A and B are shown apart, each in its own frame.
Chain A
Amino acid sequence: MKRLVVILALAVLLGLGAYVISYGIARHTFCQMPDVSDSSSWLRQEFHLSDVQYAQVQKLEANYHPHCVEMCTQIMQSRSVLKNLILANGSMTPEIEVALQKDGVVQEQWRADMLRHFYEVSQAMPPEEGKRYLQIMQAQVIQPDMTSGEMATPH
């Protein structure tokens, strides 16, 4: 009985030890996690960027971010105006038509700017990885209502 208890305890202890050590090694080697505080750290992991390439991408992201925030504000304002007009009128009016046109222009500008940024980022990557990046990101331009979870990731 004593021998059985000792062997089972040893098996459990060594099994747990193996789990903890293997998990630690995996997380520090082939399963290294991207930095949660840095939104562009995903690019580094996913597209295997070198330090120089990553620095260049970070610079591009930093330059693009204020413009992205500005576009976000414009879209929200345009949507808000359109929504208020739709709810305030019972049928199509010239004001709604103008608001729809303005919303279309804002959307077009945003898509063009975003695509320009995607091209710039892809050019900072190795050619094959740049192509893969564009394959993933093009969905944001073509199907803007799709979020990342719904996109297919070609691998």
Chain B
Amino acid sequence: MSPEHDQQLKTLLREWQPETDLPPRFESEVWHRIALNEEKRSSWLNFDWLFQVTCQPRLAFAIVAIAVVLGTGLANWEAVRSYHHEMANSKSRYIHSVDPFANTLLTSNQ
């Protein structure tokens, strides 16, 4: 296509106006749909972010590392919790073994 024809085509396109009547609020509806679509794509509920994350080695490693840290932290918390619980029981056992009144109370309550 020669530059002269190209120029003519451009002029023609600029002058051309479609004669179709657009529905009311057509433009705003289009933008609304685009916005909805983008919002859906970036939602946390559709888990697309997870697929994107696992494609990046650093982030995938971070997920695994977080799981290990959480496992370790939870284990320590649970160990300390059951330790305190067991120590309280052990203390109670000791007091019942040396205090006859505590033993009497225990026996009379049974």
Residues in A lying within 8 Å of B, measured CB to CB:
1, 3-4, 7-8, 10-12, 14-23, 26-27, 31-34, 36, 39-43, 45-46, 61, 64-65, 68-69, 71-72, 75-76, 79, 107, 110, 114, 117-118, 137, 140, 144-145, 147-149, 153
Contacts and interface: CB of A to CB of B under 8 A. Distances in A.
B110 to A, nearest CB: 12
Interface of B: 50-51, 54-55, 60, 63-64, 66-72, 74-76, 78-80, 82-83, 86-88, 90-105, 107-108
Given A3-B60, A19-B72, 5 more contacts: A14-B71, A18-B71, A72-B104, A79-B104, A148-B92
A42 B72 contact: no
Interface secondary structure of A, over-half rule: helix
A45 B87 contact: yes
Interface secondary structure of B, over-half rule: helix
B79 A31 contact: yes
Given A45-B87, A75-B104, A40 B97 contact: yes
The 5 closest A-B pairs by CB, nearest first: A18-B71, A15-B67, A26-B79, A22-B75, A72-B100
B64 A11 contact: yes
Contact of B97 (A4, A34, A68, A147): A68
Nearest to B47: A4
Given A39-B97, A72-B103, A26 B71 contact: no
A153 B85 CA distance: 14
Contact of A68 (B60, B71, B98): B98
Nearest to A6: B54
A20 B78 CA distance: 11
Contact of B108 (A11, A45, A64, A79): A79
Contacts of B90: 34, 36, 39, 41-42, 45
Given A22-B72, A34-B87, A45-B87, A7 B95 contact: no
A68 B94 CA distance: 12
